[in-house]
Amino acid sequence: MERRNFVRGAGMAGILATGAAPAIVHAQANIRWRIASSFPKSLDTLFGVCDVFAAHMKDMSGGKFIITTHAAGELMPAFGVLDGVSNGTVEMANTAPYYFFGKDPTYALDCAIPFGLNQRQMNAWMFEGNGLKLLREFYAKVGIVNFPMGNTGAQMGGWYRKEIKSVADLKGLKFRAGGFAGKVLEKLGVVPQNIPGGEIYQALEKGTIDAAEWVGPYDDQKLGFYKVAQNYAYPGWWEGGPQLDLHVNAKAYDGLSAEYKAIIECASAYAHVDMQAKYDGKNAGALKTLVAGGAKLFPFPKDLMDAAFKESMALYSEVSAKNPNWKKVYEDYSKFRAEQNLWFRFTEATFDEFMQRQKL
Protein backbone atom coordinates (compact mmCIF):
# COMPACT_ATOMS: atom_id res chain seq x y z
CA MET A 1 0.00 0.00 0.00
CA GLU A 2 2.81 2.42 0.84
CA ARG A 3 4.49 1.71 -2.50
CA ARG A 4 1.25 2.34 -4.42
CA ASN A 5 0.62 5.60 -2.62
CA PHE A 6 4.15 6.76 -3.34
CA VAL A 7 3.84 6.00 -7.03
CA ARG A 8 0.47 7.75 -7.25
CA GLY A 9 1.77 10.82 -5.43
CA ALA A 10 5.06 11.24 -7.22
CA GLY A 11 4.26 9.70 -10.59
CA MET A 12 6.78 7.84 -12.71
CA ALA A 13 7.94 11.06 -14.37
CA GLY A 14 8.66 12.54 -10.97
CA ILE A 15 10.70 9.54 -9.96
CA LEU A 16 12.79 9.71 -13.12
CA ALA A 17 13.24 13.47 -12.78
CA THR A 18 15.11 13.04 -9.50
CA GLY A 19 18.04 11.53 -11.37
CA ALA A 20 18.41 8.86 -8.70
CA ALA A 21 20.45 5.78 -9.62
CA PRO A 22 19.72 3.21 -10.82
CA ALA A 23 17.46 4.51 -13.54
CA ILE A 24 13.96 3.05 -13.30
CA VAL A 25 12.90 0.87 -16.21
CA HIS A 26 9.53 1.86 -17.67
CA ALA A 27 6.87 -0.83 -17.35
CA GLN A 28 6.44 -0.61 -21.14
CA ALA A 29 10.07 -1.56 -21.80
CA ASN A 30 10.94 -5.00 -23.16
CA ILE A 31 13.19 -6.93 -20.79
CA ARG A 32 14.93 -10.26 -21.24
CA TRP A 33 16.43 -11.91 -18.17
CA ARG A 34 17.78 -15.37 -17.33
CA ILE A 35 17.05 -17.60 -14.37
CA ALA A 36 19.54 -20.30 -13.35
CA SER A 37 18.21 -23.35 -11.52
CA SER A 38 20.08 -25.66 -9.15
CA PHE A 39 18.16 -28.61 -10.61
CA PRO A 40 18.15 -30.70 -13.81
CA LYS A 41 15.30 -30.46 -16.33
CA SER A 42 14.39 -34.10 -15.66
CA LEU A 43 12.87 -32.99 -12.34
CA ASP A 44 9.76 -31.32 -13.68
CA THR A 45 8.70 -30.17 -10.21
CA LEU A 46 11.93 -28.55 -9.03
CA PHE A 47 13.16 -27.22 -12.36
CA GLY A 48 9.59 -26.80 -13.59
CA VAL A 49 8.87 -24.06 -11.05
CA CYS A 50 11.12 -21.81 -13.14
CA ASP A 51 9.04 -22.48 -16.25
CA VAL A 52 5.82 -21.75 -14.34
CA PHE A 53 7.29 -18.51 -13.03
CA ALA A 54 8.59 -17.44 -16.45
CA ALA A 55 5.25 -18.15 -18.12
CA HIS A 56 3.39 -15.96 -15.63
CA MET A 57 5.97 -13.19 -15.95
CA LYS A 58 5.38 -13.19 -19.71
CA ASP A 59 1.59 -13.29 -19.43
CA MET A 60 1.28 -10.57 -16.77
CA SER A 61 3.65 -8.24 -18.61
CA GLY A 62 1.89 -8.66 -21.93
CA GLY A 63 4.92 -10.46 -23.36
CA LYS A 64 7.34 -7.66 -22.47
CA PHE A 65 9.20 -9.33 -19.57
CA ILE A 66 10.77 -12.53 -20.93
CA ILE A 67 12.75 -14.88 -18.72
CA THR A 68 14.68 -17.79 -20.19
CA THR A 69 15.10 -20.79 -17.88
CA HIS A 70 18.37 -22.69 -17.50
CA ALA A 71 19.04 -25.99 -15.77
CA ALA A 72 21.95 -26.71 -13.45
CA GLY A 73 25.19 -26.73 -15.40
CA GLU A 74 23.98 -24.67 -18.36
CA LEU A 75 25.07 -21.26 -17.09
CA MET A 76 26.80 -22.29 -13.87
CA PRO A 77 27.06 -25.28 -11.52
CA ALA A 78 24.10 -26.23 -9.34
CA PHE A 79 25.77 -24.81 -6.25
CA GLY A 80 27.10 -21.73 -8.05
CA VAL A 81 23.81 -19.89 -8.44
CA LEU A 82 23.98 -17.84 -5.24
CA ASP A 83 27.29 -16.29 -6.24
CA GLY A 84 26.05 -15.96 -9.81
CA VAL A 85 23.14 -13.76 -8.76
CA SER A 86 25.13 -11.91 -6.12
CA ASN A 87 27.84 -10.84 -8.59
CA GLY A 88 25.40 -10.14 -11.42
CA THR A 89 26.48 -12.95 -13.75
CA VAL A 90 22.80 -13.86 -13.97
CA GLU A 91 19.76 -11.82 -12.94
CA MET A 92 17.83 -14.60 -11.19
CA ALA A 93 18.16 -18.07 -9.70
CA ASN A 94 15.93 -20.69 -8.13
CA THR A 95 17.53 -22.87 -5.51
CA ALA A 96 17.30 -24.48 -2.09
CA PRO A 97 19.03 -21.90 0.15
CA TYR A 98 20.34 -24.50 2.60
CA TYR A 99 22.85 -25.56 -0.05
CA PHE A 100 24.86 -22.53 1.03
CA PHE A 101 25.01 -23.21 4.76
CA GLY A 102 28.79 -23.50 4.37
CA LYS A 103 28.93 -19.78 3.59
CA ASP A 104 26.64 -18.97 6.52
CA PRO A 105 24.27 -21.38 8.33
CA THR A 106 21.61 -18.64 8.27
CA TYR A 107 20.81 -19.61 4.68
CA ALA A 108 19.36 -22.88 5.99
CA LEU A 109 16.67 -20.99 7.90
CA ASP A 110 15.33 -19.82 4.54
CA CYS A 111 14.83 -23.45 3.51
CA ALA A 112 14.79 -26.14 6.20
CA ILE A 113 16.57 -27.20 9.35
CA PRO A 114 16.18 -30.49 11.24
CA PHE A 115 12.96 -30.48 13.29
CA GLY A 116 11.99 -27.12 11.88
CA LEU A 117 8.78 -25.66 10.51
CA ASN A 118 6.45 -27.66 8.30
CA GLN A 119 5.18 -26.34 4.97
CA ARG A 120 2.23 -24.36 6.32
CA GLN A 121 4.18 -23.04 9.28
CA MET A 122 7.00 -21.89 6.99
CA ASN A 123 4.52 -19.98 4.85
CA ALA A 124 3.04 -18.39 7.96
CA TRP A 125 6.46 -17.33 9.29
CA MET A 126 7.51 -15.88 5.94
CA PHE A 127 4.35 -14.00 5.02
CA GLU A 128 2.64 -13.30 8.35
CA GLY A 129 5.57 -13.48 10.75
CA ASN A 130 8.98 -11.82 10.54
CA GLY A 131 10.63 -14.40 8.28
CA LEU A 132 10.69 -12.50 5.02
CA LYS A 133 11.67 -9.23 6.71
CA LEU A 134 14.59 -10.77 8.60
CA LEU A 135 15.85 -12.76 5.63
CA ARG A 136 15.61 -9.75 3.32
CA GLU A 137 17.94 -7.94 5.73
CA PHE A 138 20.32 -10.91 5.64
CA TYR A 139 20.31 -11.24 1.83
CA ALA A 140 20.88 -7.51 1.36
CA LYS A 141 24.45 -8.11 2.57
CA VAL A 142 25.16 -10.12 -0.59
CA GLY A 143 23.13 -7.98 -3.01
CA ILE A 144 20.13 -10.30 -3.38
CA VAL A 145 16.38 -9.83 -3.02
CA ASN A 146 14.71 -13.12 -2.05
CA PHE A 147 11.19 -14.42 -2.67
CA PRO A 148 9.72 -17.79 -1.55
CA MET A 149 9.23 -19.87 -4.69
CA GLY A 150 8.43 -23.49 -4.00
CA ASN A 151 8.08 -25.96 -1.15
CA THR A 152 8.17 -29.76 -1.32
CA GLY A 153 6.32 -30.43 1.91
CA ALA A 154 7.65 -32.94 4.43
CA GLN A 155 10.15 -35.24 2.78
CA MET A 156 11.04 -38.92 3.03
CA GLY A 157 14.08 -40.13 4.93
CA GLY A 158 16.06 -41.61 2.08
CA TRP A 159 17.12 -44.90 0.50
CA TYR A 160 19.34 -47.46 2.22
CA ARG A 161 20.81 -50.80 1.24
CA LYS A 162 19.92 -52.09 4.71
CA GLU A 163 17.13 -51.05 7.08
CA ILE A 164 18.22 -48.71 9.86
CA LYS A 165 17.07 -50.37 13.10
CA SER A 166 18.85 -48.17 15.64
CA VAL A 167 20.95 -45.04 15.82
CA ALA A 168 24.03 -47.29 15.98
CA ASP A 169 23.39 -48.37 12.37
CA LEU A 170 24.26 -44.86 11.20
CA LYS A 171 27.88 -45.09 12.31
CA GLY A 172 30.22 -44.77 9.32
CA LEU A 173 27.34 -44.52 6.82
CA LYS A 174 28.26 -42.42 3.78
CA PHE A 175 24.99 -40.62 3.27
CA ARG A 176 23.99 -38.00 0.74
CA ALA A 177 22.02 -35.42 2.74
CA GLY A 178 21.17 -31.88 1.73
CA GLY A 179 21.99 -28.73 3.60
CA PHE A 180 22.25 -28.32 7.34
CA ALA A 181 21.12 -31.90 8.00
CA GLY A 182 24.68 -33.10 7.50
CA LYS A 183 25.83 -31.25 10.60
CA VAL A 184 23.40 -33.20 12.79
CA LEU A 185 23.93 -36.52 11.02
CA GLU A 186 27.67 -36.12 11.48
CA LYS A 187 27.15 -36.00 15.25
CA LEU A 188 25.31 -39.34 14.95
CA GLY A 189 28.26 -40.99 13.22
CA VAL A 190 27.26 -40.41 9.59
CA VAL A 191 29.74 -39.28 6.95
CA PRO A 192 27.55 -36.70 5.14
CA GLN A 193 27.92 -36.01 1.43
CA ASN A 194 26.48 -32.91 -0.26
CA ILE A 195 25.87 -33.96 -3.89
CA PRO A 196 23.65 -32.23 -6.51
CA GLY A 197 20.48 -34.09 -7.46
CA GLY A 198 21.66 -35.01 -10.95
CA GLU A 199 24.73 -36.82 -9.60
CA ILE A 200 23.21 -38.85 -6.73
CA TYR A 201 22.20 -42.00 -8.63
CA GLN A 202 25.66 -42.56 -10.07
CA ALA A 203 27.27 -42.12 -6.64
CA LEU A 204 24.83 -44.60 -5.09
CA GLU A 205 25.21 -47.10 -7.91
CA LYS A 206 29.02 -47.00 -7.80
CA GLY A 207 29.12 -47.33 -4.02
CA THR A 208 30.66 -43.90 -3.51
CA ILE A 209 27.84 -43.41 -1.01
CA ASP A 210 25.88 -45.98 1.02
CA ALA A 211 22.56 -44.16 1.17
CA ALA A 212 20.87 -41.07 -0.23
CA GLU A 213 17.89 -38.82 0.36
CA TRP A 214 16.37 -36.43 -2.11
CA VAL A 215 12.76 -35.28 -1.78
CA GLY A 216 9.97 -37.83 -1.91
CA PRO A 217 8.30 -40.52 -4.02
CA TYR A 218 7.62 -38.54 -7.20
CA ASP A 219 11.17 -37.24 -7.66
CA ASP A 220 12.82 -40.31 -6.14
CA GLN A 221 11.06 -42.53 -8.67
CA LYS A 222 12.35 -40.38 -11.51
CA LEU A 223 15.89 -40.56 -10.17
CA GLY A 224 15.71 -44.36 -9.86
CA PHE A 225 17.15 -44.82 -6.36
CA TYR A 226 14.95 -47.88 -5.75
CA LYS A 227 16.99 -49.77 -8.35
CA VAL A 228 20.12 -49.81 -6.16
CA ALA A 229 18.79 -49.35 -2.59
CA GLN A 230 15.27 -50.57 -1.80
CA ASN A 231 14.85 -49.70 1.88
CA TYR A 232 12.90 -46.42 2.04
CA ALA A 233 12.84 -44.54 5.36
CA TYR A 234 10.45 -41.98 6.80
CA PRO A 235 10.10 -39.25 7.93
CA GLY A 236 12.75 -36.87 6.65
CA TRP A 237 13.08 -35.15 10.03
CA TRP A 238 15.64 -32.76 8.59
CA GLU A 239 13.16 -31.38 6.03
CA GLY A 240 9.69 -30.91 7.45
CA GLY A 241 8.80 -28.13 5.03
CA PRO A 242 11.77 -27.11 2.86
CA GLN A 243 11.27 -23.89 0.97
CA LEU A 244 12.89 -22.99 -2.32
CA ASP A 245 13.72 -19.42 -3.24
CA LEU A 246 13.77 -17.02 -6.13
CA HIS A 247 16.93 -14.95 -5.86
CA VAL A 248 17.07 -11.66 -7.76
CA ASN A 249 20.15 -9.48 -8.19
CA ALA A 250 19.43 -6.41 -6.06
CA LYS A 251 20.81 -3.85 -8.53
CA ALA A 252 18.81 -5.32 -11.38
CA TYR A 253 15.71 -5.44 -9.20
CA ASP A 254 16.11 -1.83 -8.06
CA GLY A 255 16.22 -0.79 -11.70
CA LEU A 256 12.74 -2.16 -12.37
CA SER A 257 9.52 -0.18 -12.33
CA ALA A 258 7.06 -0.68 -9.49
CA GLU A 259 4.83 -2.56 -11.93
CA TYR A 260 7.52 -5.07 -12.85
CA LYS A 261 8.47 -5.56 -9.21
CA ALA A 262 4.84 -6.35 -8.42
CA ILE A 263 4.71 -8.82 -11.30
CA ILE A 264 7.77 -10.66 -9.93
CA GLU A 265 6.12 -10.84 -6.52
CA CYS A 266 2.87 -12.21 -7.94
CA ALA A 267 4.47 -14.67 -10.37
CA SER A 268 6.79 -16.11 -7.71
CA ALA A 269 3.86 -16.48 -5.29
CA TYR A 270 1.86 -18.39 -7.91
CA ALA A 271 4.82 -20.67 -8.64
CA HIS A 272 5.31 -21.18 -4.91
CA VAL A 273 1.79 -22.54 -4.43
CA ASP A 274 1.92 -24.48 -7.71
CA MET A 275 4.94 -26.51 -6.61
CA GLN A 276 3.34 -27.39 -3.28
CA ALA A 277 0.21 -28.58 -5.06
CA LYS A 278 2.19 -30.66 -7.55
CA TYR A 279 4.08 -32.55 -4.84
CA ASP A 280 0.99 -33.20 -2.75
CA GLY A 281 -0.86 -34.36 -5.85
CA LYS A 282 1.84 -36.60 -7.30
CA ASN A 283 3.58 -38.20 -4.30
CA ALA A 284 0.72 -40.51 -3.30
CA GLY A 285 0.55 -42.34 -6.63
CA ALA A 286 4.33 -42.49 -6.94
CA LEU A 287 4.64 -44.08 -3.48
CA LYS A 288 2.18 -46.82 -4.47
CA THR A 289 4.20 -47.50 -7.61
CA LEU A 290 7.48 -47.67 -5.68
CA VAL A 291 6.09 -50.11 -3.12
CA ALA A 292 4.62 -52.26 -5.88
CA GLY A 293 8.07 -52.30 -7.46
CA GLY A 294 9.75 -53.62 -4.32
CA ALA A 295 10.51 -50.59 -2.16
CA LYS A 296 10.40 -51.49 1.53
CA LEU A 297 9.10 -48.73 3.78
CA PHE A 298 10.36 -48.42 7.34
CA PRO A 299 10.11 -45.72 10.02
CA PHE A 300 13.20 -44.33 11.67
CA PRO A 301 13.53 -45.94 15.13
CA LYS A 302 12.66 -43.88 18.20
CA ASP A 303 16.20 -43.86 19.60
CA LEU A 304 17.44 -42.32 16.35
CA MET A 305 14.72 -39.66 16.33
CA ASP A 306 15.35 -38.77 19.97
CA ALA A 307 19.12 -38.57 19.46
CA ALA A 308 18.75 -36.47 16.32
CA PHE A 309 16.40 -34.03 18.06
CA LYS A 310 18.76 -33.64 21.00
CA GLU A 311 21.79 -33.06 18.77
CA SER A 312 19.84 -30.59 16.61
CA MET A 313 18.85 -28.39 19.55
CA ALA A 314 22.42 -28.47 20.88
CA LEU A 315 23.80 -27.51 17.49
CA TYR A 316 21.46 -24.52 17.20
CA SER A 317 22.64 -23.25 20.57
CA GLU A 318 26.26 -23.63 19.48
CA VAL A 319 25.68 -21.72 16.25
CA SER A 320 23.75 -18.97 18.05
CA ALA A 321 26.75 -18.42 20.32
CA LYS A 322 29.08 -17.96 17.35
CA ASN A 323 27.06 -16.41 14.52
CA PRO A 324 25.10 -13.16 15.06
CA ASN A 325 23.29 -13.51 11.71
CA TRP A 326 21.95 -16.92 12.69
CA LYS A 327 21.15 -15.84 16.26
CA LYS A 328 19.02 -12.89 15.12
CA VAL A 329 16.93 -14.95 12.69
CA TYR A 330 16.81 -18.21 14.67
CA GLU A 331 15.52 -16.53 17.84
CA ASP A 332 12.47 -15.33 15.93
CA TYR A 333 12.15 -18.63 14.03
CA SER A 334 12.27 -20.78 17.18
CA LYS A 335 9.73 -18.61 19.01
CA PHE A 336 7.39 -18.86 16.03
CA ARG A 337 7.93 -22.64 15.84
CA ALA A 338 6.97 -23.09 19.50
CA GLU A 339 3.77 -21.08 19.06
CA GLN A 340 2.85 -22.93 15.88
CA ASN A 341 3.41 -26.34 17.44
CA LEU A 342 1.14 -25.42 20.33
CA TRP A 343 -1.59 -24.42 17.87
CA PHE A 344 -1.15 -27.41 15.55
CA ARG A 345 -1.25 -29.78 18.53
CA PHE A 346 -4.93 -29.02 19.05
CA THR A 347 -6.02 -28.93 15.41
CA GLU A 348 -3.90 -30.15 12.52
CA ALA A 349 -1.98 -32.88 14.34
CA THR A 350 -5.03 -34.29 16.11
CA PHE A 351 -7.13 -34.29 12.97
CA ASP A 352 -4.35 -35.84 10.88
CA GLU A 353 -3.66 -38.53 13.47
CA PHE A 354 -7.33 -39.54 13.51
CA MET A 355 -7.64 -39.58 9.73
CA GLN A 356 -4.54 -41.76 9.28
CA ARG A 357 -6.20 -44.48 11.35
CA GLN A 358 -9.27 -44.61 9.15
CA LYS A 359 -9.76 -47.00 6.25
CA LEU A 360 -11.02 -44.85 3.42
* Per-residue pLDDT at 180: 81
Per-residue pLDDT of the chain (360 residues; tens, 9 = 90+): 444 443 333 333 333 333 444 555 555 689 999 999 999 999 999 999 999 999 999 999 999 999 999 999 999 999 999 999 999 999 999 999 999 999 999 999 999 999 999 999 999 999 999 999 999 999 999 999 999 999 999 999 999 999 999 999 999 999 998 778 899 999 999 999 988 888 899 999 999 999 999 999 999 999 999 999 999 999 999 999 999 999 999 999 999 999 999 999 999 999 999 999 999 999 999 999 999 999 999 999 999 999 999 999 999 999 999 999 999 999 999 999 999 999 999 999 999 999 999 988
* Per-residue pLDDT at 360: 87
Strands (E), the chain: 31-37, 65-70, 92-95, 144-151, 158-160, 174-176, 191-193, 211-212, 231-234, 243-249, 296-299
Q: Name the maximum alpha-carbon separation found in the chain.
A: 69
* Per-residue pLDDT at 25: 54
**Domain residue limits, the chain:** 22-152+241-280
What is the DSSP annotation of 78-119?
Answer: GGGHHHHHHTTSSSEEEE-GGGGTTT-GGGGGGT--TT---H
CATH number (3.90.550.10, 1.20.120.1200, 3.40.190.170, 3.40.50.720) of 22-152+241-280 reads 3.40.190.170
Whether 175 and 212 have beta carbons less than 8 Å apart is answered as yes
**192 CB contacts (<8 Å, ≥6 apart)?**
175, 176, 177, 181, 182, 183, 185, 186
